[in-house]
Structure 1
């Protein structure tokens, strides 16, 4: 064997080891991309019904969401197997640990994406997502109660596990089970009260203490999630829109306008944390379509259409930048 040939295997092994080891830096909050893409797909389905836009747009985005989830799931399971200490570090982190809720929420939303194609599979995915969401919410809340918390850890990420239980009813509104209404009510009760408590704590922290670090600034958008998701969850449970639902929608829209200027400004570093803006915005957009469909006036339909365009542009930019950083090797590094 020549000297050149003998070097091929070591070089190949080195590249493979480098590729595998980079998985230890795969952030769990990347699952937020699945949440955002799923929410965008559902919003484009609303657009097809309301404005007659091409249905293929929403279905294509939904397919991308499924593919991204499969890739991330396989990658993160590999990380769990090869670097379990890294997964434990993430889960035990008082801030990052809350982003494990993005996994369970992504599963719930994918059940809605899958619904038109296979009801049975959609129902199974929803059940898995529901069980996982409730278990995670119990773990996170228990951890917050038994350990003393630093006020600086009161960040918008605290809302994610609670918002996850709200999503049970968002995705479960069309489930055919006889017991589904009670599960939806349970999810709304848990998520609604947790959102109220955590939102107050986080708002107080933002008002009276140092601002969030730049890399965490995009997570401010999570503050609008309880209102957009709460609207969708509540209206699915009562099968209609009432004054309380209107209050949830309008305050979510108001807060989204306020926070948009704080989040989307020059100088903030790009990273996986930017996916935190995706689903909260998508929830408000879906809420806008549902509310516009109920009120049936052109100003609200215009708000729905404009917000969908903004959401699509934002997610397209974040998606492209994420791929760019991934291929440059800057996304998965310590």
Structure 2
């Protein structure tokens, strides 16, 4: 287990890299997509729950590893938030709390509701720290990137659980507020892509733009806005098509830990299309078939880098 601390680390888990969390988020998304497929396609429910149980255990282990690092020296959170892979990883770590609440929903609505509010509070606290990092750091850190979706739009994940536990007002609030923020980030991102395309190593992060479209659609469907969900289904389809067309350009730098960004958007899009059903059932099923081997493959590659002690160095993770 000492190898998990990272190369050159002075003790167990002192350099736990936040980069382990984006692919774990993708695994959660895959399990939730399988859960939706149980009713739509008659898939075995045991497979979905086995995936979600295993991913929850993996997440709790990685969360423990990061908390051990944080408790040794709390300033590591600020240091991780100063670098782009760290902001993505910490953001995914927090957002996974919403997904744990969604996993728990069929087993205990009360537990799911409690986990939901824990996620909201932790997310808000992280955002306060992040805004302070932006305010006190160099101007380059404040450049809008797709990772802003994780940090600022990620509250939309509260809408996965909120309607089912009697928090419909929360679901409505996150739908409209985060929807507005997502549109702003999309607009800025489109302009930046035309005027200053990202360097090859950062291009996989562009796939994050797909996730808000999928999640806004899922939440809109959950609160009864079926027409809005249909609009987001189309937006997600256009975005996914553009990502596929530009895949060679996006992956030009070869595999890196940032490939974790591919995982959740694909799984989330599958969930949206499966949830809407009708003409979207076939695309949803195809996306689920594609995501089922692809997401675990990326997660395994990233976790292997952690096990070898090189993930922290590759992503500039802070050391406690």
Compared with structure 1, are the counterparts of its residues 16 and 109 closer, same or farther at alpha carbon in structure 2 (3 Å cutoff)? closer
Equivalent residue number for residue 185 of structure 1: 172
Residue 319 (structure 1) aligned with residue 304 (structure 2): no
Task: Please tell me whether residue 103 in structure 1 is matched to residue 83 in structure 2.
Answer: no
Deviation readout 1:150-175 (Å, 9 max, x if unpaired)? 49832211121222111111222211
Q: Deviations over 1:204-250 (max 9, x none)?
A: 111101x323332221110111211111122222x2411x3211110
**Are 1:154 and 2:140 counterparts?**
no
Provide structure 2 residue ranges, at least 5 long, that are not aligned to the other structure. 315-320
Q: Which among 224, 229, 243 is matched to residue 259 of structure 1?
A: 243
Tell whether 2:60 aligns with 1:76: no
Please give the secondary structure, in 2, of the residue aligned with 1:333. helix
Query: 2:19·2:88 contact (CA, 8 Å) conserved in 1?
Result: no
| CA positional deviation for 1:266 | 5.8
Range moving further from structure 2, 263-272 or 195-204: 263-272
Match of 2:285 in 1: 305
Deviates most, 167-176 or 85-94: 85-94
Cα distance in structure 1, aligned partners of 2:276 and 2:207: 21
| 1:208 corresponding residue in structure 2 | 195
2:234 is aligned, of 219, 244, 250, to 250
User: Is the CA contact (8 Å cut-off) linking 2:109 and 2:165 kept in structure 1?
Assistant: no
Q: Distance in 2 between matches of 1:216 and 1:127?
A: 33
Aligned to 1:232: 218
Q: Distance in 1 between matches of 2:131 and 2:306?
A: 33
Count of matched residue pairs: 310
TM norm structure 2: 0.86
- List per-residue Cα deviations over 1:173-196 (Å, max 9, x = no partner): 2113xxx12222222232112111
User: CA, structure 1 residues 102+124, in 2 after alignment: closer, same or farther (shift >3 Å)?
Assistant: same
**Deviation of the 1:138 alpha carbon:** 5.1
Separation in 2, partners of 1:148, 1:199: 23
Per-residue deviation at 1:40?
0.7
Structure 1 portions without partners, runs of 5+ = 1-11
Distance in 2 between residues matched to 1:320 and 1:17, nearest whole Å: 19
Q: Which has the higher Rg, Structure 1 or Structure 2?
A: 1
Distance between the aligned counterparts of 1:322 and 1:153, measured in 2?
26
State the distance in 2 between where 1:16 and 1:36 align: 23
Q: Give the TM-score normalised by the residue count of structure 1.
A: 0.82
